[in-house]
Amino acid sequence: DAKTTQPNSMESNEEEPVHLPCNHSTISGTDYIHWYRQLPSQGPEYVIHGLTSNVNNRMASLAIAEDRKSSTLILHRATLRDAAVYYCITSSGSARQLTFGSGTQLTVLP
């Protein structure tokens, strides 16, 4: 699995968009990009995943760079409940395991 690099922390104002970056410069062509988040005192939860194209779901959007060496998780309108640690993970197509890094601590300011 490719190593990912994320900022340790970010801040956002409530109801504003948030762009969480992730670098994965050694990603291979068949590696998927996953995002999970962990709310305080809870287990992680799945947010979104993608391979090459940008993806949208009810929680967020995932923008993947054309060269796939970076991606950005977009929360369109941050709420206080979005304050969490966000993990960017890459995994090979055959892998059933996820390797969690230290993630980005998102603070949402009222």
Partner 1 sequence: NAGVTQTPKFRVLKTGQSMTLLCAQDMNHEYMYWYRQDPGMGLRLIHYSVGEGTTAKGEVPDGYNVSRLKKQNFLLGLESAAPSQTSVYFCASSYSILSGIYEQYFGPGTRLTVT
Stretch that binds partner 1, among 20-28, 52-60, 66-74, 101-109 (CB under 8 A): 101-109
97 binds partner 1 (CB under 8 A): yes
Task: Give the whole-angstrom CA distance, residue 87 versus residue 44.
Answer: 9
For β-strands 104-109 and 9-13, DSSP reports them as parallel
The nearer residue to partner 1, 13 or 57, going by C-beta atoms, is 57
Give CA separation, 41 vs 36, 38, 44, 91, in Å. 15, 8, 10, 26
59, with CB counted inside 10 A (0-12, 13-18, 19+), is middle
Please report how close the Cβ of residue 16 comes to partner 1 at its closest, in angstroms.
27
15 binds partner 1 (CB under 8 A): no
44 binds partner 1 (CB under 8 A): yes
Binding residues for partner 1, rule: CB under 8 A, are: 30, 32, 36, 41-46, 49, 87, 91-103
